[in-house]
Structure 1
Amino acid sequence: MDLLSDILELLKLKGTFYFRTSFNPPWGVLVPAFENVSRFHFVHRGRCWLRVEGVEEPLLLEQGDLAIITHGAQHSMRDHPDRPLKTVDQVVSDAGFTGEGALVVGEQGSGYETQLVCGHFAFDRDATHPLIEELPPYLHIKDFGESSTLWLESTLKLIGAEAGRANLGGDLIALKLTEIIFTQAIRAYLTGDGQRQLVFKGVVDQHIGRSLAELHRNPAEAWTLDAMARNAGLSRTAFAMRFHELMGMTPIQYLTAWRMQIARRNLVETDASIYQVAEQSGYHSEAAFGRVFKRHFNTAPATYRRLQRPDGQVA
């Protein structure tokens, strides 16, 4: 499995389709903040203004644009930058939306209609990775056509055509398609603006990227700094300095954090013993593993498993 797929698979990325909208002026919607999600809005038709909390300037979204609110921040969307806002719950209630068809606001045909496809990408609780943490507040993907984003245009157009309609299986098709959008968007970001950002520079770097890929292929190996450096094709000193410069942490810090994510998943999703989980995470001492795990998640492995699986069921 490639590096990006490995990271997103461990974080248990799941797409959730919300609804398709038909917004007719005047309109303004305030979307609250939410943890462990990245929200997305695709402009299937028309245009609108997006403002993300913590970002000074509003963003104009044109037809065919995709915006991903990467860290689930509060944000607003409206037909004019100064339009008054209603919460999304108010909008849904006022429209009498039942979850079927489109969410219609205002009189259709009375003005400039904006059709949106909205949803989110959810991550497991406690699932984290520097690549996700270092994403900007939002990703804006635009200018579809004969570019590398042609795949995304086709995917989102299909979602817009299926979402909320009466076609048999249409909602399921839209739901499943949303699960690939985040991966595609991150891949586009990695090959564009992301190459200048911390962590992303490391992922695409010839030497550090090679080292990361090998760590992910064999996380339980008894890695040393010398072994990592040889794998990267650099001297020990050059590797350590380059890794820290591009990733914002030491190689050992990265390896430890990744191993803890593997341990978290195995505790929740399998019935392996604590010792087996420790070995799968690269630790041959259950006590040493327990200390590191507690430092990361503020609870012992057995307690963490019990809290995450109160009914005793494997996720």
Structure 2
Amino acid sequence: MPPTPSPAGPSLVNPAKFRPPAPLDDLLRSIRLSGAVLCHSHMSAPVCVSVAYEADSLAFYEAVEGHCEVRFDGMTEPMTFEHGDVLIVPRNLRHRFCIESDTNPLDLRDVLASLVDGEMTDENDMVSLTRAFGMHIAFGGGGTPFVMRMVLAWVDDRVPGPLLDGLYRPVLLKGFGRQHSALLSAIFEEADTQRESNFLTQPVFIRLGEALFALALKEAALRDNFSPFYEGLSDPLVAKLIGMILRDPGHDWTLDALSRATGLSRSAMSWRFRTALGMSPGRFVTHTRMSAAQIMLTSTNCSIVQIAEQLGYSSEAAFNRGFRKWSGTTPGKVRVKNYPTPRCRKGPSVSLGASVTK
């Protein structure tokens, strides 16, 4: 039934009472960040830099001058990222920006250590994030330039966020930067204004970052044939299943359980899911579990046995086989490489923190 008009007229009624019955509306509202840093990067050829953020952070890049190749772990074909484009890189996906070079990449952490870390202290020798906001970092061989504006965002893991959690591959929006140039410029100019105030900048940066991600991911969802995950959101039953699986990847998601949740037969539910998403329900469950495992291995000290149990595997051996098939490496090797320190918590857990650029 339509909402009862307010005595003051519909123009003053909370817009939430007129929300469209679309899963995408709820998912866009679920975007919640716990931190954000707006910054700038100036690279020059020849250069190649390897980038890996923490498991709870993702990046919004806008190319404002020049072009480069972006290469991603696990993807054979590079992306061409050029002036006017926006690129969103999901959590925990190592990538490389390459300009006229694709060998011997610099590690971004080493670049930041030499250019930024020593300049993030105030007059009292205390670390000050305010000094990082709006920083410009410049490096490379001095040749052809490539300039980016970026938002490094930390996901608020206290709030279920299936839209951000469901990002399992990069999102390249050709021409998005040109289309929304006025908004992007205004946001970064406002960031500079807030930085000059030197007080309570994070609440503003977080909301600006959430607005950018909501706008970009809305466009990604509405572009034809852009992403199987977002195409699936147009089907309300499939969107419901996606949300259920992302919120609790360790549940015993049998075909019977999924079909009961939709009121469809197993075959009808599977066909509808595969048609909308381009993969079977079982494959999506596996991908979601392994993505959660990757986060837990790199950001908690839960044992591999504990991770296997929390993600619904009957044994450590079964989990190891599934993880190796999915990632090409073993959970043990991922764990040794990352040395996580936070305490183990029930369910997929992520740590807070990432590098800040100048």
TM range (shorter): 0.5 to 0.7
Alignment CA distance shift 1:299-1:32 (3 Å): closer
Gap regions ≥5 residues in structure 1: 22-27, 43-47, 62-66, 77-88, 90-97, 104-115, 145-151
How far apart are the structure 2 equivalents of 1:255 and 1:170?
40
Counterpart amino acid of residue 161 in structure 1: E
Shift of 1:225: 1.4
How far apart are the structure 1 equivalents of 2:283 and 2:50?
28
Q: Hey, what does 2:114 align to over in structure 1?
A: none
Q: Hey, what does 1:17 align to over in structure 2?
A: 38
Shift of 1:299: 3.0
Q: Given the alignment, which residue of 126, 146, 149 partners 1:118?
A: 149
Alignment CA distance shift 1:75-1:50 (3 Å): farther
Q: Given the alignment, which residue of 309, 317, 334 partners 1:304?
A: 334
Counterpart amino acid of residue 88 in structure 2: T
Shift of 1:263: 1.5
What secondary structure sits across from 2:321 in the alignment? helix
What secondary structure sits across from 1:263 in the alignment? helix
Shift of 1:17: 2.0
Give the superposed CA RMSD. 4.7
Shift of 1:166: 2.7
Once the two structures are superposed, what CA deviation does each residue of 1:153-172 show, in whole Å capped at 9, x if it has no partner? 4x973542232753223865
Q: Given the alignment, which residue of 301, 304, 314 partners 1:284?
A: 314
Counterpart amino acid of residue 306 in structure 2: Q
Q: Given the alignment, which residue of 183, 186, 208 partners 1:157?
A: 186
Q: Normalising by structure 1, what TM-score?
A: 0.59
How far apart are the structure 2 equivalents of 1:75 and 1:275?
39
Once the two structures are superposed, what CA deviation does each residue of 1:237-257 show, in whole Å capped at 9, x if it has no partner? 222122222212111111011
Q: Hey, what does 2:119 align to over in structure 1?
A: none
Once the two structures are superposed, what CA deviation does each residue of 1:139-164 show, in whole Å capped at 9, x if it has no partner? 616777xxxxxxx94x9735422327
Counterpart amino acid of residue 69 in structure 1: L
Shift of 1:5: 8.1
Matched, 1:69 2:87: yes
Counterpart amino acid of residue 163 in structure 1: D
Indicate if the aligned counterparts of 1:190 and 1:204 stay in contact, CA closer than 8 A. no
Gap regions ≥5 residues in structure 2: 1-25, 53-57, 70-77, 90-94, 100-110, 112-130, 137-146, 156-163, 344-350, 352-358
Alignment CA distance shift 1:13-1:119 (3 Å): farther
Q: Given the alignment, which residue of 232, 235, 255 partners 1:202?
A: 232
What secondary structure sits across from 2:86 in the alignment? strand
Alignment CA distance shift 1:294-1:56 (3 Å): closer
Shift of 1:29: 8.0
Q: Hey, what does 1:140 align to over in structure 2?
A: 176
Alignment CA distance shift 1:75-1:159 (3 Å): same
What secondary structure sits across from 2:307 in the alignment? helix
Indicate if the aligned counterparts of 2:67 and 2:81 stay in contact, CA closer than 8 A. yes
Which of 1 and 2 has higher RCO (CA within 8 Å, sep 6+)? 2
How many residue pairs get aligned? The number is: 252
What secondary structure sits across from 1:70 in the alignment? strand
31-40 or 205-214, larger mean C-alpha shift:
31-40
Counterpart amino acid of residue 86 in structure 2: I
Alignment CA distance shift 1:241-1:73 (3 Å): farther
Alignment CA distance shift 1:247-1:303 (3 Å): same
Indicate if the aligned counterparts of 1:15 and 1:121 stay in contact, CA closer than 8 A. yes
What secondary structure sits across from 1:204 in the alignment? coil
How far apart are the structure 1 equivalents of 2:283 and 2:172?
22
How far apart are the structure 2 equivalents of 1:101 and 1:183?
19
How far apart are the structure 2 equivalents of 1:269 and 1:57?
30
Indicate if the aligned counterparts of 1:117 and 1:160 stay in contact, CA closer than 8 A. no
Q: Hey, what does 1:183 align to over in structure 2?
A: 213
